[in-house]
Amino acid sequence: MGPLTYFGEISTEWNYVIALFIGMAFGYIMEASGFSSSRKLIGVFYGYDFAVIRVFFTATLVAIIGLLYMGYFGWIDYSVLFVHPTFVASAAIGGVIMGLGFIMGGFCPGTSLCAVAIGKLDGWVFTIALFVGIFLYSQVFPWIEPLYNAGDMGHIKITEYFGISQGWFAFGFAVVAVAVFFITTLIRRKVKDVRY
């Protein structure tokens, strides 16, 4: 039963080898989907290319439903999976700062690494700045620490917060995703082509 490393079915030495291969698959999928191009990524915000939202929503949906089924079948212990902790203030403010970074820089960190790998110099500059941004954060950390730890809700799930079942949430998310795919297709037809 999974997670394999959690139950000691894979030794920790293998963990780093696995990390390398998972990273390779991750990088390959992102690059092959066009995520090494800032102009393709940014198309989602101006309506000329919706690849980002399609890849992102499909991946999230497949993962949510797949993991729930793995749990139901007893192939994975769903209760021990790492749930990203919720700190309301920092999750929201961090998201807003990253959103501004996305629209100005044209990448997010994973996609900028793909751009670095294929020689896009704008990706190199973005990634170097990413290092500097993390360093700057470490410098101001003592002042913003209270805000960083504000609104601690622990490892809470969205379904627990709203009191709905995981199955119904997955169903609702699927409906939203299909609606988004449909609407973005309509918008794409109306927006004039951008060549890149």
Partner 1 sequence: MSFWKEDKSHVYWNPYFGGFMLGLLLILTFYITGRGVGATGGTKSAVITTVETISPEYAQRSKYYSKYYDEGTNPMKNWLVFETIGILAGAFLSGALAGRAKFRIQHPPHITSNKRLVFASIGGLLFGFGSQFARGCTSGAALSGAAVLSLGGFITMIGIFGTAYLAAYFFRKLWIN
Q: Within positions 125 to 154, which residues make up the interface with partner 1, using CB under 8 A?
A: 125-139, 141-142, 144-145, 148, 153
Q: Which of the residues 67 through 126 are near partner 1 (CB under 8 A)?
A: 67, 70, 75-76, 80-88, 90-110, 112-114, 116-123, 125-126
Query: C-beta of 94: minimal distance to partner 1 in Å?
Result: 3
86 touches 156 (CB < 8 A): yes
Q: How far is CA 106 from the centre of its chain?
A: 15
Neighbours of 148 (CB within 10 A): 15
Q: Would you count residue 180 as binding partner 1 (CB under 8 A)?
A: no
Residue 182 as a binder of partner 1 (CB under 8 A): the answer is no
Residue 167 interacting with partner 1 (CB under 8 A): no
| 179 part of the interface to partner 1, by CB under 8 A | no
Are the beta carbons of 30 and 36 closer than 8 angstroms? yes
In eight-state DSSP terms, residue 78 is G
Which tokens hold the place of 100?
A: 């501004």
Supply the minimum distance, in Å, between the C-beta of residue 84 and partner 1. 4
Number of residues that bind partner 1 (CB under 8 A): 128
Is 72 or 137 the residue whose CB approaches partner 1 more closely?
Answer: 137
> What's phi and psi for 87, nearest 5 deg?
-120, 100
- Tell whether residue 176 is a contact of partner 1 (CB under 8 A): no
User: Of 48, 44, 62, which is closest to residue 111 (Cα–Cα)?
Assistant: 44
Separation CA 2–CA 149 (nearest Å): 31
- Phi/psi of residue 45, nearest 5 degrees: -90, -15
Of 66 and 72, nearer to partner 1 (C-beta) is 66
Q: In the range 3-62, which residues lie near partner 1 by CB under 8 A? A: 3-6, 10, 15-34, 36-40, 42, 45-46, 48, 50-51, 53-62
